[in-house]
């Protein structure tokens, strides 16, 4: 999204809030909800509106897991690393995602199709291991299921050796 649009969108959101520090997190959530991430110019505009130092906005943004500084991919893949998921192979699912998407957590594929991230626990421990794909929790995700989910997005797993 080009610069002026970012500012226009940010300002529109700001106008719904009073310029008070306790509104900082709800504002950041609203801006990220709209733009998908928190561009530098948006953070500066927010700081200006709340009359706080831009570094303070940056401090809050980098503190919380929810906020991101780069535009997201089209689909979001969040691997749950809760205790139950870990014991039932959440780390194996994460490995499989990393292998198939070719990226590490908190990265986006070069074609901007997929984001890979981890989440502390989504509270679906009885369905472990869980991966949240585009907001929908997927139960019992093993490496085979990873391939199945990717297939539903039109991504073929690497071709098997021809025998």
Partner 1 sequence: MKTVTLTIDGKVIKARAGEKLLWAALENGIYIPNLCAIREREEPDASCRLCWVEVEGQSDPVPACAIGVQEGMAVSTKGEKALALARAAFELLMASHALDCAHCQANGRCELQKIAKVLKCSLKPKRLRLLLRDLPVDDSSPLFSYDPNKCVLCGRCVWECRKHREKAIMGFAHRGFERRLTTFADEPIGADRCLDCSECVKVCPTGALTLK
Partner 2 sequence: MNPINPAPAFRELRDKAGAKLRRLKDGKTVIMVGAATCGRAAGALDVLRAFRDEVKKHNLDCPVIEVGCLGHCYAEPLVIIGKPGWPPVAYGYVNPVIAERLVNEFILGDNPCPEFVLAALAPNDLLPSFQDFPRARYERKIILQNCGLIDPSDINDSIANGGYSALAKALALPPQKIIAEIQKSGLRGRGGAGFPAGQKWQACRDAQGTPKYLICNADEGDPGAFVDRALLESDPHGIIEGMLIAGYAAGADRGYIYVRAEYPLAVERLQIALRQAEDYHLIGSHILGTDYSLEITLFQGSGAFVCGEETALIASLAGQPGLPRYRPPYPAVKGLFGQPTVVNNVKTLAYVPRIMANGADWFRGIGAADSPGTAVFALAGKIVNTGMVEVPMGTTLRRIIYDVGSGIPKGKKFKAVQIGGPSGGCLPESALDLPVDFDSLQNAGAIMGSGGMVVCDEDDCMVEMARYFLEFTRRESCGKCTFCRLGTRQMLEILTDFTLGQGKLADLAILEKLAGEVGAGSLCALGRTAPNPILTTLRYFRNEYEEHITLGRCPALMCRHLIAYYILPDKCERSCDACVGACTVEAISPDKKRIKVIDPEKCVKCGTCLPACPPQYNAIVKLSPPSEVPCK
Q: Identify residues 137-156 at the interface with partner 2 (CB under 8 A).
A: 137-139, 142-144, 146-147
Single out the residue of 47, 36, 35 nearest to residue 8, CA to CA: 35
SS3 label, residue 103 = coil
- In the bound state with partner 1, the residue whose beta carbon lies nearer, of 56 and 113, is 56
Nearest-approach distance from CB 158 to partner 1, in angstroms: 34
SS3 label, residue 64 = coil
Among residues 2, 4, 63, 110, the one that binds partner 1 under rule CB under 8 A: 63
- In the bound state with partner 2, the residue whose beta carbon lies nearer, of 8 and 87, is 87
Nearest-approach distance from CB 133 to partner 2, in angstroms: 11
Phi/psi of residue 94, nearest 5 degrees: -60, -45
The total of other beta-carbon atoms located within 10 Å of residue 119's CB is 16
Contact between 28 and partner 2 (CB under 8 A)? yes
Q: Identify residues 49-88 at the interface with partner 2 (CB under 8 A).
A: 59-60, 63-67, 81-88
Give every strand in the sheet of 131-133, ordered side by side.
107-108, 114-119, 75-80, 131-133, 136-138
Task: Note the residues at the interface with partner 1 (CB under 8 A).
Answer: 40, 43-44, 47, 51-59, 62-63
């Amino acid at each position: 999204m080009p610069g002026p649009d970012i500012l226009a969108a940010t300002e529109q959101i700001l106008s719904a809030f009073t310029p008070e520090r306790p509104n900082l997190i709800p504002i950041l959530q609203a801006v990220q909800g709209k733009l998908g991430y928190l561009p530098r110019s948006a953070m500066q505009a927010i700081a200006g509106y709340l009359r706080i130092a831009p570094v303070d906005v940056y401090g809050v943004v980098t503190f919380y897991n929810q906020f991101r500084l780069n535009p997201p991919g089209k689909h979001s893949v969040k691997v749950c690393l809760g205790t139950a998921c870990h014991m039932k192979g959440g780390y194996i699912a994460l490995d499989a995602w990393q292998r198939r998407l070719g990226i590490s957590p908190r990265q986006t594929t070069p074609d901007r199709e997929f984001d890979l991230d981890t989440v502390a626990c989504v509270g679906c421990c009885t369905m472990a291991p869980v991966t949240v794909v585009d907001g929908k929790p997927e139960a019992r995700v093993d490496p085979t299921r990873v391939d199945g989910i990717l297939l539903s997005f039109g991504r073929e797993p690497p071709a098997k050796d021809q025998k």
